[in-house]
Amino acid sequence: MRRTAALIVGGGPAGAAAAIRLARGGTRALLVERQAATDGLCGGFVSWRTIDRIAALGVDPDTLNRDRLTRVTIVAGGCEREAALPRPALGVSRRRLDTVLRDAARAAGAEIETGVTVRSIDGLTAQLAEGPDIAAGALFLASGKHDVRGLARPAAARGRDPTLGLRVRLAADPEMARALAGRIELHLFDRGYAGIALQEDGSANVCMAVHRSRLQAAGSPADLLDQLGRELPRLGERLARLAPGAPIDAIANVPYGWRQQGGSAGLFRLGDQAGVIPSLAGEGMGIALASGVAAAEAYLRGGPDAAAAWQRDFAARLARPMAVAGLVRRLAEGRWSAGALRWLPPGLIQVVALATRMTQ
């Protein structure tokens, strides 16, 4: 069995942020990740506050994407509303974001091992699919939306009609680039929504949250995209650029609205393992980075025993943005969202954008 003072399970933004902060504080963490950086399911929107957090980690945000998103367009049925974002944001692929942050963690002194699959966790010991288990003085769980056996989030958090995440990538196209330049689009429909933004390479990330009942009624992910493209003309224009047979990434049972409100000594749950905010808020990456940095700082101050109090405090920080995002999500997914959108003043869109951000 191997031993380490601090073990980070997961090499996404939350895990990499924790590794950077721990290393700079004098703790050389071991980060294990099952695969090299790839395009994750969602998470391509980086808000203005998240840009600040990335800069505070010593990473130049322009290495992610020099272009900025300054406006949001919300589309429901035949109705459309547009507003300026409170401050510029950016779109970036998870492959690029994870690569840059892991490189920063290595440069800070963290040890990163890829190709390591954690089969289950028993206490503070990671049991691997291959190789010796790893026992840790403190364990930082940063496995994103994927649960690890032994620390899985409760099934009840999924709800009666669970949400699925779907993602497709639209290849770079001059016409699409002009249409989406400087903006993020949010398309609302019955029992779901889709966000679209340009990434650093000119391609567009289309990320959807859809209730299982809507997918089952359509038949398959491909059938659902075809159905939505016919129902929603603007979204259909975007999806028409999807190459035939293009992969559709999916993940089931996303527990939007769930927070880890209790804790135990030595275990720090980060990112989506700390709380899952509805993706239409665009704050998933912000929560990931904030949790990684805050948990590392709590460990540096108080060691493994600081975990329980930190988890409770972080859950309290998540309460307001997640409550607001949950309310907006319920409104957005209703059959009458188009009618409600007609009366939505642009100023209120900015208020919601600010209210769904993590506090500093």
Count Cα atoms within 13 angstroms, Cβ side, for 72.
25
Assess if residue 292 is contained within a domain.
yes
pLDDT along the chain (360 residues), means of 10: 96 97 96 84 85 97 97 88 94 95 97 96 96 97 95 88 93 94 94 95 94 95 95 93 89 93 96 95 95 98 98 97 92 73 75 85
**CATH classification of the domain holding 123:** 3.50.50.60
Q: How far is CA 197 from CA 158, 170, 235, in A?
A: 27, 10, 12
Assess if residue 259 is contained within a domain.
yes
pLDDT of the residue at 339: 60
Burial of 115 (0-12, 13-18, 19+ CB in 10 A): exposed
Parent domain of 324 = 2-43+94-153+255-345
The total domain count for the chain is 1
Assess if residue 141 is contained within a domain.
yes
Is 3:277 a contact under the CB 8 Å cutoff?
no
Assess if residue 305 is contained within a domain.
yes
